[in-house]
Chain A
Amino acid sequence: MRKNILLLKIIFLMLMAPFCIHTANAQAMLQVGQAPPDFSLADINGKDISLKSLEKKKAVVVVFWATWSANSKKALKRFEEFYKKYKDKEIEIVAINANNQIISKDDVEAVKKLVKELNITFPIVFDDGLKTFRLYDTIALPSTIIISDGKIVYELPGLPLVGTEDMIDYLMTLAGEQPRKALVQKYKPRHDAIADTNLAKGFIAKKKYDMAYPFLNKAVEKDSKYMLAYVELAKLYEIEGKAADAENILKKALTVEPENVAVMTELGHLLITTGRNKDSITVLEKASALNSYTPSHYYYAYALGKNGQIKESLANFEKALSLNPYEENIYTLRAEVYTLNKMQKEAASDYRKALEMKMKIRN
């Protein structure tokens, strides 16, 4: 009997898996421990490269980047240095270009020029339509994901100075080398906590909220460091109008990991929606200073805008757009700020851009 239940649970999880990928938290990249979605994309010579074809490698580094992002160039340069030394150690790098929603001939030329200039030798592929970019819930450019043994083992949005070198050290250990400094054991969420959270997300998507609570509570109990479970639980409380419970659960998460940017951002967002704008500014200012987590920048910008600090607000929206120009939320929130400040023309333009993005309208 127990065997049958287990089998049913496994079958259910397998059925839910692709669904869960699509409904993944819009404010976070895919999480460590999750299976990466496969992709098959054409490189600069038109040859298709799929993730599946690289599954026998010790590790695959997937880098999302764009020619217009200065940090992307730095990331490519750093990865090329690494690749030259370690490509024979079964480490592969695939750089996914996300220059535009629709990749134009000009984009292809710009990529070829940069590849030549930086002497890049690892594969560069084009994500025409940004399908893979969205499948991976990418929130910033550049963003890096390391895959090993069929699972995501590392994810890094942006190009933080220390974080990037820590990631290189981690890659060195995967290549069988000694890292340059002692590595802090990287946290890996418990599988059952991930599974429970995914089940709960499935129920939430089907609006079966009562069914979702026990799974999220169990996930938090099983792995108190698994921040996604707290965030999902807070969102569920928010959906059901239980703002105080949402706030409590996020604050509980911050006692476990005080500088978790995703949790701080969710709390900041909650404080905005409950009318505590000044408090949200304090939380979001701290979150946006920590790293390149795009939502922290645009919610911070939004809170500043609602507080009448239009100049600072617009500067932070620009920062968010420089990290991820494909996020429609940035345009809708900035449009709201423009409307509040009676800048109707600018507001109309931003709402139009958000709708064009949503409907994938090409101009």
Chain B
Amino acid sequence: MAGKLIIQFSLLACLIFSLSFSAGAAEDRQKASSLLKEAVVLYEKGNYDRAAELLAEAIKADANYPELHDQLGYTLLKKKDFDGATNSFNTALKINPRFRTSRTGIGLVQYHKGDLKGAEETLKEALTLNPYPAMTHYALGLVYEKSGDYEKSIHHFKEGIRTFKGGKR
């Protein structure tokens, strides 16, 4: 009888603990999500320093949220912090290996560092993973434009225009 009570009590305690834990996690995700929204607005306005600060704060609240690392990657890319951007994109990919925009981000870092061959390979791979490929086509267009292959560049920019729908990048 006592044993049964102990088991019931333990189960109840576990339930309360997991409920309060998931409530805390939901709160953290909510905080991170609202900081992400703010950071995106700042990013679009060109205020990259403040956007990066907000994203760092959001990551403290919820480090397992791949969108935060991805957005930080793009923000650091704008700040020309290529190593920082690569780390952020890789972290996003570690959390979710199929995270589509981070692979494109890595390709863009390679492009900016002048590694056109590497960028081409990464972006071609990203293109196969991506159901919303406009940004990847854009990045591939940049790579081919810089390498003087205008025909391929035109093809990818046009594909970007064709596939860009509803703001999906």
Residue interface mask B66-78, A partner, CB < 8 A = 1: 0000000000000
- Return A173 CB to nearest CB of chain B, in Å: 41
In residues 309-363 of chain A, which contact B (Cβ within 8 Å)? 332, 335, 339, 344-345, 347-349, 351-352, 354-356, 358-362
Using A102-B45, A102-B46, A332-B161 as known contacts, say yes or no to A355 and B141 having CB atoms under 8 A apart.
yes
Chain A residues near B31 (CB-CB < 8 A) = none
Chain B residues near A80 (CB-CB < 8 A) = none
Asked if A128 CB lies within 8 Å of chain B CBs, one says yes
| C-alpha gap A361/B169 in the complex (Å) | 11
Contact with A359, one of B142, B144, B169 (Cβ below 8 angstroms): B169
Q: What range describes how many residues of B lie at the interface?
A: 20 to 34
The answer to whether A339 and B164 have CB atoms under 8 Å apart is: no
Q: What range describes how many residues of A lie at the interface?
A: 20 to 34
Looking at chain B's contact residues, the main secondary structure is helix
The answer to whether B135 and A359 have CB atoms under 8 Å apart is: yes
Asked if B134 CB lies within 8 Å of chain A CBs, one says yes
Asked if B105 CB lies within 8 Å of chain A CBs, one says no
| C-alpha gap A174/B144 in the complex (Å) | 57
Contact with B151, one of A102, A344, A356, A360 (Cβ below 8 angstroms): A344
Chain B residues near A355 (CB-CB < 8 A) = 134, 137-138, 141, 157, 160-161, 164
Asked if B86 CB lies within 8 Å of chain A CBs, one says no
Chain A residues near B161 (CB-CB < 8 A) = 332, 351, 354-355, 358
Asked if B57 CB lies within 8 Å of chain A CBs, one says no
| C-alpha gap A361/B160 in the complex (Å) | 12
Chain B residues near A128 (CB-CB < 8 A) = 45
Contact with A358, one of B44, B144, B153, B164 (Cβ below 8 angstroms): B164
Interface contacts beyond A339-B154, A355-B161: sample of 10 additional A-B pairs, CB < 8 Å, sorted by A:
A347-B154, A348-B154, A351-B154, A351-B157, A352-B153, A355-B134, A358-B164, A359-B134, A359-B135, A362-B46
Can you list 17 A-B contacts with CB-CB less than 8 angstroms, sorted by A residue number? A129-B44, A348-B141, A348-B144, A348-B150, A351-B154, A351-B157, A352-B138, A352-B141, A352-B153, A354-B157, A355-B137, A355-B160, A355-B161, A355-B164, A359-B134, A359-B138, A361-B138
Q: Which residues of A contact B (CB under 8 A)?
A: 102, 104, 128-129, 332, 335, 339, 344-345, 347-349, 351-352, 354-356, 358-362
